Amino acid sequence: MQKPLAYRMRPTKIEEIVGQPDLVGPGKIINRMVNAHLLSSMILYGPPGTGKTSIASAIAGSSKYAFRSLNAATDTKKDLQIVAEEAKMSGTVVLLLDEIHRLDKTKQDFLLPLLESGQIILIGATTENPYININPAIRSRTQIFPVHPLTSENIETAIERALHDSERGLGNEPVDLDQDALHFLSHRTNGDLRSALNALELAVRSTPKTKRRIHVTIKDVEACLQQQALTQDKNGDAHYNVLSALQKSIRGSDANAALHYAARLIEAGDLTSLIRRLMVIAYEDVGLANPPAAERAVTAVQAAERVGLPEAQIPLANAIIELSLSPKSNSAMAAMAAALEDVRSGNYGEIPPYLRDAHFKGAKELGHVGYQYPHNFKNGWVNQQYLPDRIRDAQYYQPKTTGKMERAYAEQYQKLQQAQHQDQTSKEDHHD
């Protein structure tokens, strides 16, 4: 029985990986590991279909190591022992361990010494947060790399490659894939390459030949993905246009428009993109003007994920309306952007000595003293410098007053700034 297209098209070397340029691009960490032949165990963390298995397969192929794949939930300790024996014979085995967050203690205890010795290069794959769901003993022996959803361009590249690959792909089939069908596949699979390739193969295998050609249309792809295309926009940009319109409608406080664009996404079955964008909107556009609304939006998203469609539309409607009608502030996002700009440009200095860690023997000798504990002072505040000398007067946060909550934050921020300035002026006058 022939394996699915997504399986056959897995990369055999690092250069074949689509997406994840921050990990496998030239000069990036996994690329460096492979080129230097200095592999270390790692955990790849991200949504399904984003290339975790592909990265593991490519690492093994590029390094010429044996590659084995197991599932932490369903495979047994005996299966691990077989891999361990192979590692003893061949020197090193790259082991992809799927669902690593479900690794039990018995299997973990068996694996740890093998990781220490380097006989097994473990590549754990998980959709769960590894900092929460993976045992610290395993976590401490691996590097954790987030794997991001693929872009539509990444998926389009992989589809074109599959259509022209005569050895592993569909290159021997006389396929004509309509451009709007290609765009639909690349945009409507939410960054899941496995879904896109398997839907493509189903469409090709199930479409009758006409004049010795297999003509795959958007209707064929829709049927194979069980999703409806946004028929008002055939150029493939509808997905991002709708998300953009949704955010701009909420930012502009138009609840009706926001509900309309959300309805388009719901009707297309695109729950993942909708809830991801709503969480961004909650903190980017409402932010400090109404923090409880942002919290409730996250709760609504969690409820939607749990119940799924069609019921997911109910908590999401609550969130959309509240976010639309809330006061707006992007001051927190702007403040972080300003801080990042300083850091990235190298505009920062040494941390003041009294703010450095003092919980070790010898801290005093290093000058890590002088910290004033705010709880010991009236009103829980004492004037002391927290920023490095080089940027001591930097003010990244510029308060807005569009919401009751941020007005209160702004008043407190300004009071503290004034108190700090007055105290500093007093000290300088006393010094003079």
Please state, in angstroms and rounded to a whole number, the distance separating the CA atoms of residues 393 and 247. Answer: 35
Residue 305 placed within a domain: yes
- Who wins on pLDDT, 239 or 119? 119
Confidence of residue 409 (pLDDT cuts 50, 70, 90): confident
Asked whether 92 and 82 are in contact (CB, 8 A), the reply is no
Alpha-carbon torsion (196, 198, 201, 207), positive or negative: negative
Residue 331 placed within a domain: no
Say yes or no: 130 and 36 in one domain.
yes
pLDDT tens by residue, 291-325 = 999 999 999 999 998 888 889 999 999 999 999 99
Name residues whose C-beta falls within 8 Å of residue 31's C-beta, 6 or more positions apart in sequence: 14, 23, 24, 25
Say yes or no: 14 and 137 in one domain.
yes
Of residues 107, 142, 106, the one with CA closest to residue 126 = 142
Say yes or no: 402 and 424 in one domain.
yes
Write the Ramachandran bin of 379: left for phi over 0, alpha for psi from -120 to 50, otherwise beta: left
pTM of the model: 0.54
**Average pLDDT in the chain:** 87
Say yes or no: 41 and 134 in one domain.
yes
Per the structure, the complete domain to which residue 13 belongs is given by 5-146
Residue 427 placed within a domain: yes
Of residues 132, 60, 47, 139, the one with CA closest to residue 94 = 60
Q: Is the pLDDT of residue 431 over 60?
A: no
Q: Is the pLDDT of residue 289 over 80?
A: yes
Name residues whose C-beta falls within 8 Å of residue 281's C-beta, 6 or more positions apart in sequence: 246, 247, 250, 251, 297, 323
Domain CATH number, residue 212: 1.10.8.60
- SS3 category, 33: helix
Say yes or no: 135 and 169 in one domain.
no
Residue 367 per-residue DSSP state: T
- Please say which residue of 96, 124, 146 terminates a domain: 146
The widest CA-to-CA distance across the chain, in whole angstroms, is 95
Say yes or no: 141 and 156 in one domain.
no
The residue to which tokens 């509900």 are assigned = 259
How many separate domains does the chain show?
Answer: 4
Tell me what pLDDT residue 255 has. 94
Please state, in angstroms and rounded to a whole number, the distance separating the CA atoms of residues 123 and 23. Answer: 14
Say yes or no: 372 and 411 in one domain.
yes
Residue 36 placed within a domain: yes
Residue 408 placed within a domain: yes
pLDDT tens by residue, 134-173 = 888 888 889 999 888 888 899 999 999 999 999 999 999 9
Say yes or no: 136 and 27 in one domain.
yes
Give me the long-range contacts of 401-410 (CB less than 8 A, separation at least 24): 402/289, 402/327, 402/328, 402/329, 403/288, 403/289, 403/290, 403/326, 403/327, 403/328, 403/329, 404/327, 405/288, 405/289, 405/290, 405/291, 405/292, 406/287, 406/288, 406/289, 406/327, 406/329, 406/331, 409/288
Average pLDDT of span 218-225: 89
Tell me what pLDDT residue 262 has. 94
